[in-house]
Structure 1
Amino acid sequence: MRILGIDPGLRVTGYGVIDVEAGQQHYVASGVIKTDSDAPLPHRLHTLFKGLNELAELYKPQVAVVEIVFVNVNPQSTLLLGQARGSVLTALTHAGLSVMEYTALQIKQAIVGHGKANKEQVQEMVKRLLKLPAPPSADAADALAAALTHAQSSKMLNAMAHTGLPAGARRARTRKGRTSWR
């Protein structure tokens, strides 16, 4: 399965592409789509739309994963980021991709092990998980982390489906040391 991860932004949108084969994740590509901050907003949104459609055509992913971004400091920034995210989602669905979404907290928890991880920690873990020679840029690392999160979630859901366990089932040890499921 090929996964396209996206870290949306109006100025810089990160992307990362991974392949998942036999439970192993393999790096394919990563980078950023930059918009001209002097261009009118519609042109910037079109740059994102066009860039994501080109990525979908070039890499032919089966699924896209987009980070759910929250910005509460500046209402204007939040509005602009929401418009960029809308352009991203529209481009991905226009390309025929199913789109999964994860919060930054979920992604950091899955990749680093705690939701308060900083950018450098995410970059280092992405480097390790994908066996890269150097950490990717912050935006590309966030996109790759989103793709890795979905790969891990898919792996867990597939494992549960094959065991016949309901989602949310928990393993518990009995008094005699046996494993039981609740």
Structure 2
Amino acid sequence: MGRVSQAQARENRERIVATAARLLREKGINGISVADVSAAAGLTHGGFYKQFESKEALVSEAIAYAFAQQATRLEADPTLLDGYLTPEHRDTPGTGCPAAGFAGDVARAAGGEAARQSYADGVAAYARMLGTDDEPDLAAVSMMVGALILSRATAGTEISEHLLAAAKQALDER
């Protein structure tokens, strides 16, 4: 089989990163393998290592990609924040907020220091988007992400939706 073009190589890389960003939020950094990502992206395991030196390199890039996608969606439609503290968002981690989706893994140092830096950069950018007058709104990010994580952890119990509602009310009253 011949070599792929540079354009095809870029497309393959983008597909791997997008697939990884979804799978990592759904199953966690330690819950998927390189083979899982490659298969889900429709590529071979060997093709992965032509694009990335390690799983950690992919994780860092996938985190940055997920935050960039979130920023693009929010810039295009700021009303998307209205759906943040909802059961629908809680129940779709693969396409949901990367701050909530990656928090536990990054806190346990899964993915390495590059992943931690990509995550920190993404959270800071998210706080700037929610802020006003060039002041990042770290409190809003903390409340939104914390409520979503707690709601996911308690999904199926009575408190899960109460957590979402309480955070939404507190943010609305600010």
- Alignment TM-score, normalising by the size of structure 1: 0.34
Q: Identify the structure with the greater helix proportion.
A: 2
Q: Identify the structure with the greater strand proportion.
A: 1
**Highest CA radius of gyration, 1 or 2?**
1
- Alignment TM-score, normalising by the size of structure 2: 0.35
